[in-house]
Amino acid sequence: MPDAGGATRQSSKGSSRFVSVNAAPAPRPAVPPRPRGDLIRACVEDIAQAVRTTWPTKSADNRWRRSRGTRDLLHHLSTFPGESWQQRWEASGFDQPGHPVSVLRSAPRDRSQIGTGAACLFCLRVIQPSLAAFRSNTFLYYGPRFLTAQGDPLLEKFWAQVQEMPVNPAHHGTALFDVATALTTQGIALADLTPSALLHYVWECRRGGLVLGARGAGSRFPGHLAWQALHAMGHFPEQGPATLKAALLTGRLSAEEMVGRYPIRHAGVRRLLVAYLERRQPDLDYSSLDNLARHLASHFWSTIEALAPGQADLRLDGELYRRWRGQVALRADGGGRREFEPILRAVRAFYVDIQAWAPAEPERWAIWVAPCPVPDADVRGFGIRKRRVKERMDDRTRQRQPLLATLVEYMEARYEHLRAVLERASTAGAGETITLDGRTYQRLWSRADERRVRHGGTANVRVLDQESGKPVNLTAAEDAAFFEWAVVEILRHTGVRIEEALELTHLSIRQYQRPTGEVIALLVVAPSKSDRERVIPMSAELFSVIAAIIRRHTRDGRAIPLLPRYDPHERRASPAMPFLFQRKIGTSLEVVSPATVVNMLRRRCEELAERHPGFRAACFTPHDFRRLFATELVNNGLPIHIGAALLGHLNLQTTRGYVAVFNEDVVRHYQEFLGRRRNTRPGDEYGDVTEHEWREFEEHFDKRKVELGGCARPYGTPCQHEHACLRCPMLAINPKMVPRLDEIEADLLARRARAEQENWLGEVDGLDLTLTFLRQKREDTRRLARIAPVGLGIPVIAAPR
């Protein structure tokens, strides 16, 4: 459980790398910081003199304004009761939100002057304002002013660390402001600033909507760059979260903490549930264990105690069970609970497991053995309900299969359009118009852009879309469009789960050299729901997408950054790795989350729905690509056990559950496969591959090589198009053979002209069909060739030092 001081807490499960932080204000230091001596009871003139000596400037006007603003505010505070300036400040009402000190003056110059005086009093620690009161005022350059006043070497070190961070220099001042504000409002020095204290400041800013420079700040968090700098300089513990995002996320709970979330009065049942979860823990992943704890502790026993407060054991009579079943079957709003059946199955397994464990450990379980209150009739029909779910999933897949090509084309066209606009707008001057693909944009340039450039940073390229009238940040939009396109391409070409796609790293790329010398690119997929990793051969299209991602990360000549990735299901952070799907969000690099991909697909489908009626009732999710991939494999005749290996399924029935095809296709493909293989493999149909079969498998790829490229027909199938390769959809053109296609086209045109001259109309139709296929294949090949090849720099294991 969290300790009283709000310190960092390591999860009780030893395998977790996640360390959680509890938000709590810093304790009041024994010796409060007083950079210019104890001025909390000093006279007005002494404080004014301290202001002049702390910030000496060549401008007499600036010195006079600071001194005058300080005097005016102190003279006003002196009219309120109190022995110290802090007490008078609190009595004045200025320590409440929405009461800035500028209300004491009407002229803008005078309002700024008295605001500067308040900032000087805060920096000299004469007054400690509340966070809401501090942010009710507007201060210019408070961070540098606070840094000068403190004379703290540790704070100077922090500022130097911030300036070394690889972010836009415009963010440096924000980091200094966040730390200065936290120290000012909590009355501490930087040495006393703990992760818990900074996290307290972060949460209070978010709750009050006080994030500096953020629109809609109620959903934003400040302090990201400040946290990174404090961790990098060693001020925060090394084993603690390296980023603010990691500190904000919830770590793993122990079985006792899971049960402790729910109000269970019976201490014996509470201990029983904890023991049961600990016994089941080795066999379950964290999210499954968390769901089981919710079903048993919340939906089951907490509800039983609410219905029967005096229930002493697990023996439930029929009437109590019927009342419990009726209540749990409904949600709080009165609707039917969707996950009602899993609750019944979890409770039934709970009773059955205790009965099974009691003979071996009677001292622990025997006292709780009781008849299971869930009858067989309540859990009967699971197979029927599962088939209904399968039917709904099949129907969903059939609806989306014809829409896939439209979605892919739209994602690619959208990215290409934004990339082209960004390229042209980058060299355009302020106010200059750009027209591309029938849309006109006007280059924007603001004072904020000038400030970024002046501070040594790079301004985002922004334009005004003349059609919609909305400004567009092209730098961010093009980057988002690229990764949206890339994730769709990887999902549809590999069939991996969304978690597996986002876990791909630079280390996932491997190569295999066959005995013939041919090198095959492989993609190693880390396990998600199973414990087995798998290897996927990369097609040309998949390889080009992977290469484009790597080239984007390494275009500045740097290696792909190493980042940890937080798994929301397992509630733990991975080691720092070169993840492919990482983006720069604000001041930090972050790995893309599954929720981001889901929201992106929803937005793109909504855009397509405006022009394509099929998307009005159909929206893609990441898992739809997995089902479409499995369906395409089986429809093209690939044996289902090979498809299961590519998808990472341990059970063939699972793969069949993903496949949505017409019944005649299933029967035909499956019977053809059995007929081909029955004579050569009379034993177990899915036995281990023999050396002869593996050699035959490799020879198959050699025989697929043709003049124009390679044939992609499935293993074990002959050519079904009598080697008419130009008309065959299985032909993958080698980009180097595009000139050969031009030669073939010229020859076909000459033959067509002769056929027209001789009035061979059947020959003309055949040649027209061949020309159509040739031009389509040439266009597809040129589209893929637009992404130039790149050396991937496949990582190798470094020699031990």
Amino acid identity for residue 728 in this structure:
C
Report the distance separating Cα 406 and Cα 60, nearest Å: 69
What is the predicted pLDDT for the residue at 427? 87
What is the predicted pLDDT for the residue at 579? 92
Helices H / strands E in the chain, number of each:
33, 16
Task: Please count the other Cβ atoms lying within 10 Å of the Cβ belonging to residue 601.
Answer: 22
Specify whether the CB–CB gap between 565 and 502 falls below 8 A: yes
**Alpha-helix residue ranges (DSSP H) falling in 683-787:** 691-702, 738-758, 761-785
What is the predicted pLDDT for the residue at 251? 72
Angle of CA points 127, 130, 132, to nearest 5°: 135
Q: Is the pLDDT of residue 200 over 60?
A: yes
> What mean pLDDT is predicted for residues 404-427?
92
Q: Is the pLDDT of residue 726 over 80?
A: no
pLDDT tens digits along 424-435:
998 888 888 889
Closest among 219, 137, 237 to 177, alpha carbons compared: 137
What is the predicted pLDDT for the residue at 599? 93
Phi and psi for 519 in degrees, rounded to 5? Answer: -100, 125
What is the predicted pLDDT for the residue at 676? 60
Closest among 426, 265, 278, 303 to 353, alpha carbons compared: 278
Report the distance separating Cα 550 and Cα 567, nearest Å: 23
pLDDT tens digits along 715-725:
666 676 666 67
What is the predicted pLDDT for the residue at 170? 74
Q: Which of 149-163, 450-464, 641-655 has the lowest mean pLDDT?
A: 641-655
Q: Is the pLDDT of residue 307 over 60?
A: yes
> Mapping DSSP to helix (H, G, I), strand (E, B) and coil, where does residue 737 land?
helix
Q: Is the pLDDT of residue 661 over 60?
A: no
> What mean pLDDT is predicted for residues 180-203?
94
DSSP state of 37: B
Report the distance separating Cα 289 and Cα 570, nearest Å: 10
What is the predicted pLDDT for the residue at 652? 53
Q: Which structure tokens are listed for 469?
A: 């009238």
Residues 6+ apart with CB under 8 A from 511: 519, 520, 521, 522, 794
Note the maximum CA span of the chain.
Answer: 114
Q: Is the pLDDT of residue 519 over 60?
A: yes
Task: Give the 3-state DSSP-derived string for 81-129, with helices as H, strands as E and coil as C.
Answer: CCCCHHHHHHHHCCCCCCCCHHHHCCCHHHHHHHHHHHHHHHHCCCCCC
Angle of CA points 607, 610, 612, to nearest 5°: 100
Q: Is the pLDDT of residue 682 over 70?
A: no
Q: Is the pLDDT of residue 252 over 60?
A: yes
Amino acid identity for residue 391 in this structure:
E
Which of the four pLDDT bands, split at 50, 70 and 90, describes residue 666? very low
What is the predicted pLDDT for the residue at 42? 92
Q: Is the pLDDT of residue 14 over 60?
A: no
Angle of CA points 226, 227, 231, to nearest 5°: 120
Residues 6+ apart with CB under 8 A from 253: 11, 12, 261, 290, 571
What is the predicted pLDDT for the residue at 545? 92
Which burial class, exposed, middle or buried, applies to 481 when counting CB atoms under 10 A from its CB (0-12, 13-18, 19+)?
buried
Specify whether the CB–CB gap between 415 and 481 falls below 8 A: yes
What is the predicted pLDDT for the residue at 801? 53
Proportion of the chain above pLDDT 70, given as a percent? 83
Angle of CA points 153, 155, 161, to nearest 5°: 105
> What mean pLDDT is predicted for residues 498-527?
83
Which of the four pLDDT bands, split at 50, 70 and 90, describes residue 680? low
Q: Which helix (H) or strand (E) holds 591?
A: strand 588-591
Side-chain half-sphere exposure of 12, counting CA atoms within 13 A: 11
Report the distance separating Cα 438 and Cα 372, nearest Å: 70
Q: Which structure tokens are listed for 660?
A: 């949505």
Specify whether the CB–CB gap between 583 and 565 falls below 8 A: no
Task: Please count the other Cβ atoms lying within 10 Å of the Cβ belonging to residue 55.
Answer: 18
Q: Is the pLDDT of residue 328 over 70?
A: yes
Give Rg (Cα) of the chain.
Answer: 34
Q: Which helix (H) or strand (E) holds 181?
A: helix 172-186
Proportion of the chain above pLDDT 90, given as a percent? 36
Closest among 744, 733, 746 to 777, alpha carbons compared: 733
Average pLDDT, the chain: 82
What is the predicted pLDDT for the residue at 654? 57
Give the DSSP letter string of 739-763: HHHHHHHHHHHHHHHHHHHHT-HHH
Q: Is the pLDDT of residue 565 over 80?
A: yes
What is the predicted pLDDT for the residue at 215? 45
Specify the length of the chain in residues: 801
Phi and psi for 21 in degrees, rounded to 5? Answer: -125, 135
Which of the four pLDDT bands, split at 50, 70 and 90, describes residue 10? very low
Phi-psi region of 709 (alpha: psi -120 to 50; beta: other; left: phi over 0): left
Angle of CA points 324, 328, 330, to nearest 5°: 130
Q: Which structure tokens are listed for 226?
A: 């400040």
Specify whether the CB–CB gap between 329 and 298 falls below 8 A: no
What is the predicted pLDDT for the residue at 11? 40
pLDDT tens digits along 34-50:
999 999 999 999 999 99
Specify whether the CB–CB gap between 561 and 489 falls below 8 A: no
For 411, 413, 441, 443, 509, the CA distances from 467, given in Å and listed in that order, are 20, 18, 8, 14, 43
Report the distance separating Cα 308 and Cα 300, nearest Å: 12
The more confident residue out of 379 and 284 is: 284
Residue with tokens 């876990």: 503
Residue with tokens 């054991």: 313
pLDDT tens digits along 52-99:
889 887 777 777 778 888 999 999 999 999 999 999 999 999 999 888
User: Contacts for 136-145 with beta carbons within 8 Å, 24 or more apart?
Assistant: 136/97, 136/98, 136/99, 136/100, 137/100, 137/101, 137/102, 138/100, 138/102, 139/115, 142/177, 142/180, 142/181, 143/173, 143/176, 143/177, 143/179, 143/180, 144/173, 144/176, 145/55, 145/119, 145/120
Q: Is the pLDDT of residue 297 over 90?
A: yes
Across-strand partners of 524? 535
